[in-house]
Amino acid sequence: MASLGELTAGIAHEIQNPLNFVNNFSEVSKEMISEIQDERSKSQEARDEILINDNLKDIKENLNKIQHHGKRADSIVKGMLAHSRTSKGEKVPTDINALADEYLRLSYHGIRAKDKNFNADFSTDFDPNLPKINVIPQDIGRVLLNIINNAFQACGNSEFRIQN
């Protein structure tokens, strides 16, 4: 059960990060819209068109960032749903790099949720040319989670590197 709690905490943290970005960028965008509305309430001569145009440009950039982070949260949820489905033992083409990265982050945040004093610097060095391989992702994910949890616990508060 402790492992389930760690995994749940990791998932919650992974989803919370993009949601924080979405909330922050939307709040800033609302403020910029208010500035535009204030400027537009002024006479044509008194308006700061540069401010209006700059704010519109920034709002567009913020919307792109909101979309990016929303898709990131969506991807996390879809990935977790796919991993939680009962496996029929069928192997499917799987991006091992993405799977390892996902479980690395879940492990880290799960351990951090359990032990607030835990910290680790970690980096990855995945082979970008690694082809998808036929595995049962749920099974390999559990294996990766156990290995990574053990590695973090063995290293304590130090550095950790996953390399191909």
Query: What is the C-alpha separation between 33 and 97, in angstroms, rounded?
Result: 41
Q: What is the pLDDT of residue 160?
A: 52
- Best-predicted range by mean pLDDT (6-10, 23-27, 84-88, 115-119): 23-27
pLDDT in tens, 37-48: 999 999 999 999
Among 142, 49, 132, 122, CA closest to 96: 132
Q: How far is CA 14 from the centre of its chain?
A: 5
- Best-predicted range by mean pLDDT (54-68, 75-89, 132-146): 54-68
Pick 150 or 114 by higher pLDDT. Answer: 150
Pick 79 or 104 by higher pLDDT. Answer: 104
- Residues in the chain, total: 164
* Mean pLDDT for all residues in the chain: 84
Tell whether the model's pLDDT for residue 63 goes beyond 90: yes
Lowest-confidence segment of 21-25, 55-59, 80-84, 96-100 by average pLDDT: 80-84
Query: What is the C-alpha separation between 133 and 99, in angstroms, rounded?
Result: 11
Q: What is the pLDDT of residue 48?
A: 95
Q: Using only the alpha carbons of the chain, give its radius of gyration.
A: 22
| Mean pLDDT on 121-131 | 89
Supply the DSSP string of 96-132, one letter for each residue. Answer: HHHHHHHHHHHHHHHHHHH-TT---EEEEE--TTPPP
Q: What is the pLDDT of residue 83?
A: 61
pLDDT in tens, 136-160: 888 898 899 889 888 887 876 655 5
Per-residue tokens: 21: 């970005």
Q: What is the pLDDT of residue 145?
A: 87
Q: What is the pLDDT of residue 15?
A: 85
